[in-house]
Copies of this chain bind each other. A is one copy, B any other.
Amino acid sequence: MDLLFSNITIITMQASQPVLHHAYLGVTSSKICYLSTEAPLEPAKRTIDGKNRLLMPGLINTHSHLPMTILRGYADNCNLQDWLFKHIFPAEAKLNRQAIGIGASLGVAEMLRTGTTSVSDMYFYIPEIAKVTLSSGIKANICNGLTSFDSLSFDFQKNSSYLESLEVLRDYHLADHGRIKLDASIHAEYTSHISAWKAVVDFAGEYNLNMQIHLSETELEHQNCIAKHGKTPAELFYECGALDIRATLAHCVWVSDEDIDLLVEKDATAAHNPVSNLKLASGIARVTEMQKRGLNVSLGTDGVSSNNSLDMFEEVKMCSLLQKSITRDASALPAPEALKIATVNGAFAQGRENETGRLAVDFDADIIMLDLSVPNLNPCHQEIDTIVYSASGKDVIMTMVMGKILYENGIYYTLDLEKIYYELENQVLPLLR
């Protein structure tokens, strides 16, 4: 046994025993090898005393745009159209591969600091993102969302989404025992022509990839699609086979009941982004209704520039509170369900349900430890409620992925924060000025 956490409170997210007190968790190599309220007989190379500490599964962020971290606070308080076309798109056009890598590093630093151990990300220049996530130690499902505005001249073989995906497939896919995965992706219904989608679906099928798509984020997007095609975006993606692959549909704010049923039929996941959807005034997804209909719902932060943070603890709390508000029922989406959305359900979305999202023997040791001795976590009448409604990502004091401690008490073991800040200041910000 490489490491033993002893006499510690553990949120396992296992259905039978979600919380253990005065428990023991052992790690060997990348896996959890021991979990019990009895001390193990076998000695460990290192023991961490669990007094006033809590272990739980690392949180899973199923929708982000890591490099957009460099646009934090770049264009706030404006409407979606102005935000995208006057600020974000022009800024993104100025970014080079190097800037993408630096932005992704900064985003990963914030994620590890605030307890995220696995992320599904969509952006461009993805070989850079694959490189950064691989070296950082975080788990990542990476994709470059297909965009194609010209249906006549479309050639998938020449599309940057395909070319970059091939590069990631060759150099990074399934690297470090599957820690890095390439996903297939169609950016959204409104950013490509239907005739282009089949090529992505075939590509995903050929390499057994999962799918990431933005779906019905805004009312305008949803209604324009119906006006143009007589069908919702979900219906179009269903028909073209994009949901026959395990798919994560980001946002789903405006999906109909019938859309939800289509997603359920295909075992798809709605990646809910409560904070971003509020900030861009997109609406509030009907998570309670989705769950009633049997849909897997996971959580995401979206990009920093529409949030403006990557703290998944904030998303968990808001996920629960917003459902209470829109259903006008304070008992809606209780804390244990919110935490399941951020862990177990996220793992399913990523195709990682047999390796992460719960603390169990033979699962990967994707674990975070919180300090319970802070005022905001006292008293602690019920652990899961306290974590969901009172904790911040800043209460995380250790983040471990596949048995490796990546962050601990202010120290990053795989990222050089000083170097990231230096490069940000000298190589990225000048591009934006």
Contact = CB atoms under 8 A, between A and B. Distances in A.
Interface of A: 70-74, 76-80, 83, 106, 109-110, 113-114, 275, 277-281, 283-284, 304, 307-311, 314, 318, 321-322, 324-325, 327-332, 334-335, 373-376, 378-382, 385-386, 389-390, 392-395, 417, 421, 424-425, 428-429
A8 to B, nearest CB: 18
Given A113-B375, A278-B324, A417-B375, A330 B394 contact: no
A142 to B, nearest CB: 20
A53 to B, nearest CB: 15
A325 B279 CA distance: 7
A432 to B, nearest CB: 8
B72 A309 contact: no
Given A73-B381, A113-B376, A307 B389 contact: yes
B72 A390 contact: yes
Nearest to A324: B281
A309 B390 contact: yes
A329 B281 contact: yes
Contacts of A109: 375
28 contacts: A70-B379, A71-B381, A72-B390, A73-B379, A73-B380, A73-B386, A76-B334, A76-B382, A77-B331, A80-B330, A83-B330, A110-B375, A110-B376, A113-B376, A275-B321, A278-B322, A278-B324, A278-B325, A281-B325, A307-B389, A308-B385, A308-B386, A308-B390, A309-B389, A311-B376, A375-B417, A378-B421, A394-B394
A319 to B, nearest CB: 11
Contact of A330 (B79, B376, B386): B79
A390 B73 contact: yes
Contacts of A324: 278-281
Contacts of A73: 379-382, 385-386, 389-390
Contact of A278 (B321, B417, B425): B321
A127 to B, nearest CB: 23
Instruction: From A80, A304, A390, name the one whose CB has the most chain B CB atoms within 10 angstroms.
Output: A390
Contact of A279 (B277, B321, B381, B392): B321
A196 to B, nearest CB: 30
Instruction: From A279, A334, A375, name the one whose CB has the most chain B CB atoms within 10 angstroms.
Output: A375
A17 to B, nearest CB: 19
Contacts of A327: 281
